[in-house]
Structure 1
Amino acid sequence: MQLQVEEDGIVTLTPEGEQQIKDSPMYNDGLRPTRKSEHDWTAYNFASLWIGMCICLPSYALAAGLISLGMNWWQAVGTIILGNLIVLVPILLNAHAGTKFGIPYPVYARLWFGSRGAHIPSLARGIIGAGWFGINCWFAGAALDTLLSAMSGWGNITGHLGISFAIMWVLNVWIAYRGPEAIRRMEFWAAPTLIVMSLALLVWALTSAGGWGPMLSAPSTFKTSGEFWKVFFPSLTGAIAFWSTLALNIPDFCRYAKSQKAQIVGQSSSMPITMGLFSFIGVAVASATVVIFGEAIWDPAAILAKFSPFVIFLGTLGIILATVTTNVAANVIAPARAVENLAPKKMTYRMGVLITGLVALLMQPWYILENFSNYIFVWLGTYGALLGPIDGIAIADYWFVRKRRIHLAELYQLDGRYSYRGGFNQKAIYALIIGIIVPVICKNIPPLQIVWDGAWIFGLIISMFLYIWLMNGDRSLVSYSEYKSITKHAAEKAAG
């Protein structure tokens, strides 16, 4: 029986296919494959999505913070651009699966980890998303606190910073609660607004510092190449890990793409360019603060505090907009879908949003941001070591093991081919554990420290090749002839 139809490179369920799975405990309206009419995201939608996500306070802090670690401007910008070009590869590779089969990330993960094992990578991604959610809310809360303190006696109120954070937390949860479709509409107009505000910040730095020369004159503090490389590799891992989260759950967005071309062009033309430009702005402004204030200030709220109340007001609005566009897109959908996937017939996306917000509080973003070493070495470095192997397994499974052939209906069956043994694909679990353990062991062996510093890359490679080897000839694979038998193609549809 033909349960799915492929048209213009996009596979959707036939009416018979939908009928077969609609009563499954693994199915609900948020997790089902998208229908052809729902594939309406254009290249501009993906470009505006990435512009809105890249122009955010954590990316500013990442760029400017490299200056405080001792890099000069071109070393810092180059490190971030290189990291983003590297992570763009798995983003596009995983985006292909989301576009072709219209499935969200937790369902995509059922392919590699099994119907129950999928909770491992989806919850891992979800917890990290919740952490980022809290970090963005803390940045925005600090900016709001600066605004209110500059314009009134707000600073005399006990716990004023915590109250500001709570206000931004509630605002972000409320907006995210409205649903994923609101993201596309919001990013459409937010992207150009954020570009204008970012350029205005650069103009201020340029004029206040007296031109490009003084602004970018701060030299590297590294006395030897060895000192530089010691900071470069963990910083590169941090730059990669920054968007390694989206490299996993990009199917959550690309399941709505009009075509593969739309998502490839939209993402490739916006993500590395926007991160490069905004990184340069962050580095330039931090360098300018050395000239203007005598120290590198990488916290935007601390810079805002030095301006007039009107400028603080405009800057705070920009920070709030940047926070919302990043949080609701990059940091809520993945954990909300992960929660929804735990019990599809009982949990909803909106319940997932509320739980994400609560987990974000438990992760204490104020501690993560207490100093930059926590941010780059502890937070980004540690979760990069976790997500690298998962990225490697995802890419290996779709491109090399299954060769882009999926039986959609069986992704929603408890006893289907993707249930493996007891709902867990033990081969994926083995590949994940080894991909994590090897860099962790190398962390404590000085000659092999570079493996830990590049944990995302090494973990991805180790788990990828191990998974390919372990899955050779697995019973869950769909052969070419079987795929043809269950898939109706556009020409056949038109003829029938």
Structure 2
Amino acid sequence: MAQNTPQASPALAAETGHNRSGIDPANPYELSPSLYNQDLAPTTRSGRTWSAYSIFTLWANDVHSLGNYAFAIGLFALGMSGWQILGALGIGAVLLFALLTLSGFMGEKTGVPFPVMSRIAFGINGAQIPALLRGAVAIAWFGIQTFLASQVLSVMVIALAPGAAGLTETSFLGLNTLGWICFVALWGIQLVIVSYGMEMIRKYEAFAGPIILVTFLALAIWMLFESGFNVSMHTSTPKSGLDMWVGMFGAAALWVSIYGTFVLNFCDFTRGAVSKKAIVRGNFFGIPLNMLFFGAIVVVLTGTQFSINGDIISSPSDVVEAIPNTFLLLLASGALLVLTIAVNLMANFVAPTYALTNLFPKHLDFRKAALISGAIGLAILPWNLYNSPEIINYFLGGLGALLGPLFGIIMADYWLVRRARINVMDLYRSEPDGTYYFTRGFNFRAIAALAISSVIALLLAFVPALHVLGAFAWFLGSGAGALTYLALAKRHQNLVDLDGEAIAVTPKH
């Protein structure tokens, strides 16, 4: 992709207050090549293609991820009834709808990806901190999720060609030969999709969404017939009274924290949204309504299985494995693979790709950064990460705990301190008098707020005595980040609200 600086008239540059004597006519807006390229540039209004349906299918895929099903099904084992689980998911969905809509509006207004959005609060150089934190968490989970999907593919291969089971008897670097073949195949498919940019990801999500919804609805209907329409609404004595409400709100808070990554960098997707209305409609159908549909599927799959033999499934894949017809089993397994790829692309591939592009904008575009992200996801041998509780709990868990404070700081700065008045042009300028230059490109007030609130978040994550507050850790960390930043932030006067349409780029793929 070309990385040419937009051309514009000096007269319009003067309107921004940045037309100095001796200005380069080839770069009238004084954009810094260390901050700007075609992929980091704001998107043009006319070139945006993410409709309400595009955003809906984003959630149609992500909400129905196997990890989410494992979480929701696990609530049965904790003594919650089906109605209580639906209530918890409903509460969480309302909170998520509000948070994601506010976060999404930021992307729609500015048209910039998350690393550039982070420059508003952290400075043009300090933005590397939130971008790399988010990217590091995502790239590890990209590899892990690809590994988990490769296990499903391995089962499918053996079902079609039983002789392939012999490939599981030899291993290299901790993974058997068939596992390597399946992992590299899925890894390569994802690299091909993401190498064509956000527009291809949008098309894949739109393709996968209906497949996922139909597949899970079909599984639920099949299980209803298998059980004679007998659905157990609880697997033990359900919670009641205060214990019930604490459990429901705790589950709702955990449900929101699962999306702690998405609420942070949702602007990576909504920068392509055609309007705020599209975000609201896509979020409404994709979050509250879709999450209640998801909850109903959880209750039906778990309740019918329990009524049949008294067992509690751990994942929809348990239901798929029990399908007696090989052809239908392969279809259902294929749908789960389509789902896992869809979730991985949007949740774990986009963030590190933009983070790397932001780190080396003069040398990397979206495609090159995507290939490097994928290479790192392979090089870390993710099956070894997945099999290491210490890495999952302490490294990835620790990094994940910092995302709440980051969200609180960025949202407080954007909505409360700046009141959504953003000079998009200055996000790409490195002059000391620029709005987001602060001190040598770093807003040390935001960094201090992150350091202070991160201590709180990490204590909540790892101190056993505070385990009782664990369910609310994301909210407490986010709140601590917001309040600390509001206490430290410099109040801005005469804030300039200037769009970036003059330097915007129409997405090319």
TM-score class normalised by the smaller sequence: 0.7 to 0.9
Where does residue 468 of structure 1 map in the other structure? Answer: 486
Provide the aligned length of Structure 1 versus Structure 2.
Answer: 472
Alpha-carbon separation, structure 2, partners of 1:275 and 1:322:
16
Q: Take 2:107 and 2:39, find their aligned partners in 1: how far apart are those partners?
A: 14
Task: Give 1:167-206 correspondences, 5 Å limit.
Answer: 167-206=185-224
Report the CA distance shift for 1:214/1:273 in structure 2 as closer, same or farther (over 3 A).
Answer: closer
Q: 1:50 aligns with which of 34, 37, 59?
A: 59
Identity over aligned residues, as a percent? 31
User: Which SS does the other structure have where 1:423 is aligned?
Assistant: coil
CA contact (8 A) 2:111 2:271 kept: yes
The structure-2 alpha-carbon separation of the partners of 1:316 and 1:386, relative to structure 1 and needing over 3 Å to count, comes to: same
2:364 to 332, 347, 357: 347
CA deviation after TM superposition for structure 1 residue 92, in Å = 1.4
- Distance in 2 of aligned mates of 1:53 and 1:380: 20
- Shift in CA distance, 404/165, structure 1 to aligned 2, threshold 3 Å: same
Classify 1:425/1:299 alpha carbon distance in 2 versus 1 (closer, same or farther; 3 Å). same
What is the distance in 2 between the residues matched to 1:3 and 1:255?
24
Q: Tell me by how many angstroms 1:110 deviates.
A: 0.5
1:383 is displaced (CA, Å) by 5.2
Mapped partners of 2:263, 2:334: distance in 1: 29
- Asked if 1 retains the 8 angstrom alpha-carbon contact of 2:87 and 2:248, the reply is no
Summarize the Cα distance change of 1:35–1:4 in structure 2 as closer, same or farther, 3 Å threshold.
farther
Task: Give 5+ residue unaligned stretches, structure 2.
Answer: 1-10, 17-24, 169-175, 502-509
CA shift, 1:380, in A, is 8.8
Are the equivalent residues in 2 in contact too, given 1:83–1:239 (CA < 8 A)? yes
Taking the aligned partners of 1:104 and 1:287, their CA distance within structure 2 comes to 42
Larger mean Cα displacement after TM superposition, 445-454 or 292-301: 445-454
Verify: 1:265 aligned to 2:281, yes or no: yes
Give the partner amino acid of 1:44. Answer: Y
1:150-175 CA deviation, whole Å, 9 max, x = no partner?
A: 23323332223444333222222222
> Cα distance 1:29–1:302, how it changes in 2: closer, same or farther (>3 A)?
same
Q: CA RMSD in A?
A: 3.4
Counterpart of 2:106 (choices 84, 97, 116) is: 97
Structure 2 residue aligned with 1:333? 350
For the pair 1:458 / 2:473, whether they are aligned, the reply is no
Unaligned 5+ runs, structure 1: 7-15, 490-496
1:338 CA displacement: 0.5
Contact 2:128-2:355 within 8 A present in 1 as well: yes
- Shift of the 363–219 alpha-carbon distance from structure 1 to 2, 3 Å rule, reads farther
Partner of residue 171, structure 2:
none
Q: Which residue of 2 aligns with 1:26?
A: 35
Match of 1:120 in 2: 129
Q: Secondary structure at the match of 1:313?
A: helix
Pairwise CA distance, 1:337: 0.2
Cα distance in 1 for partners of 2:388, 2:284 equals 32
Bigger fraction of residues in helix: 1
Matched, 1:138 2:147: yes
Point out the more displaced range, 315-324 or 392-401.
Answer: 315-324
- Corresponding position of 2:305: 289
Q: Provide TM-score, normalisation by structure 1.
A: 0.84
- Indicate conservation of the 8 Å contact 2:231/2:300, yes or no: no
| C-alpha distance 452-65 of structure 1, shift in aligned 2 (>3 A) | closer
Q: 1:110 aligns with which of 114, 119, 125?
A: 119
Structure 1 264/345 Cα, relative in aligned 2: closer, same or farther at 3 Å? same
Indicate which of 494, 500, 503 corresponds to 1:479: 494
When residues 243 and 347 of structure 1 are mapped into structure 2, their CA distance, relative to the original with a 3 A threshold, is: same
Cα gap change, 1:28 to 1:398, in 2 (>3 Å): same
1:12 is matched with which residue? Answer: none
Cα distance in structure 1, aligned partners of 2:466 and 2:64: 35
Cα pair distance change 1:204/1:121, threshold 3 Å:
same
Say which of 322, 326, 330 aligns to 1:313.
330
Distance 2:463 2:321 in 1: 44
Q: Aligned in 2, Cα 1:178/1:79: closer, same or farther, shift over 3 Å?
A: same
- Supply the distance in 2 between the matched residues of 1:380 and 1:226 (Cα, whole angstroms): 31
Question: Which moved further from structure 2: 232-241 or 140-149?
Answer: 232-241
Structure 1 residues 336-485: aligned runs within 5 Å = 336-361=353-378, 366=383, 382=398, 384-415=400-431, 416-442=434-460, 448-473=466-491, 477=492, 479-480=494-495, 482-483=496-497
Mapped to 2, the partners of 1:488 and 1:123 lie a distance apart of: 24
Return 458-467 or 17-26, whichever deviates more: 17-26
Instruction: Look up the equivalent residue of 1:86 and give its one-letter code.
Output: L
Deviations 1:116-158 (A, max 9, x none): 1111111111122223323432332222122222233233322
Partner of 1:157: 167
Greater mean deviation of Cα atoms: 32-41 or 151-160:
151-160
Q: TM-score, normalised by structure 2?
A: 0.82
Residue identity matched to 1:316: S
